[in-house]
């Protein structure tokens, strides 16, 4: 099996723009509780990558290696006990979790067991008061991890949807990437946090529904609680 051939159950949650930032310390506990059981099922240790900038919006904040553990969370999550005096100047763009780490995935020539990504729409659109949703959250779990983990992923998405007062939650089943005629692959799940998830144009000027997405195979999940 090639790296990109592995099948995943993928989920996207679009949060309410009025909810508390998911990358704040007070909110992050809910993420950890929802995602850690999935991370524990991975074949190796997880790692986190985050893109954040200093106050000027250009200078990247350097965090070094980040694990999926308390010390790792404290490095980059805003308002943690370790960075409360520094993070006020940080501008958060995105974070992604690989389980196992991207370096192990490269060595294995195998896609991750679990991938989780967050994107801050407010950093990308100047008209923050007109955002239709924020943040964009993506979770992907390998189908071959088994039914129990797949069902746990659904529960995790439900928890996060409630926490974010989700505007929309959708799912599909797809390969990690799409093969290219010249070899390799494109449209990888990891890329969707940054590009290719939404239809071309400003998705904050359109109704938020299944037509928001570039791929027509996304299907709506029922709203939790009604």
Domain around 47: 3-220
All residues at 6 or more sequence positions from 130 whose CB lies less than 8 Å from its CB, including other chains: 204, 205
Burial profile 5-24: b = 16 or more Cβ within 10 angstroms, e = fewer: ebebbbbbbbbebebebbbe
Q: Distance (Å, rounded) from C-alpha 69 to C-alpha 153?
A: 19
Q: Does residue 225 form part of some domain?
A: no
Question: What is the pLDDT at residue 1?
Answer: 66
The stretch 66-82 carries a mean pLDDT of 97
What mean pLDDT is predicted for residues 149-157?
97
Q: What percent of the chain has pLDDT over 90?
A: 85
110-123 tens-digit pLDDT: 999 999 999 999 99
Query: Which pLDDT tens digit goes with each residue over 23-65?
Result: 999 999 999 999 999 999 999 999 999 999 999 989 999 999 9
If one counts the domains in the chain, the total is 1
Q: What band does 163 get if pLDDT is binned at 50, 70 and 90?
A: very high
Instruction: Decide if 80 is inside a domain.
Output: yes
What number of other Cβ atoms are within 10 A of residue 187's Cβ? 19
Please answer whether residues 182 and 170 qualify as being in contact, where contact means their C-beta atoms are separated by less than 8 angstroms: no
Residue 226 lies in a domain: no
């Amino acid at each position: 099996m090639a790296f990109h051939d592995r099948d995943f159950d993928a989920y996207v949650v679009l949060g309410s723009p009025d909810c508390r930032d998911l990358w704040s310390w007070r909110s992050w506990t809910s993420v950890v509780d929802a995602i850690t059981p999935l991370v524990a099922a991975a074949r190796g240790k997880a790692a986190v990558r985050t893109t954040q900038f200093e106050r000027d919006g250009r200078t990247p904040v350097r965090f070094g290696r980040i694990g999926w553990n308390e010390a790792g969370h404290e490095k980059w999550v805003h308002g943690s006990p370790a960075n409360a005096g520094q993070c006020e100047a940080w501008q958060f763009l995105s974070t992604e979790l690989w389980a196992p780490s991207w370096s192990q995935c490269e060595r294995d020539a195998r896609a991750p067991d679990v991938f989780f990504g967050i994107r801050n729409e407010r950093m990308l659109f100047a008209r923050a008061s007109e955002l239709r949703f924020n943040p964009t959250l993506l979770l992907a779990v390998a189908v071959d991890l088994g039914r129990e983990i797949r069902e746990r992923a659904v529960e995790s998405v439900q928890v996060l949807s409630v926490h974010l007062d989700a505007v929309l939650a959708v799912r599909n089943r797809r390969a990690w990437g799409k093969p290219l005629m010249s070899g390799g692959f494109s449209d990888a799940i990891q890329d969707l946090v940054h590009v290719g998830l939404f239809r071309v144009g400003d998705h904050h000027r359109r109704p938020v529904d299944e037509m928001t997405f570039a791929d027509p195979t996304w299907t709506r999940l029922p709203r939790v609680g009604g």
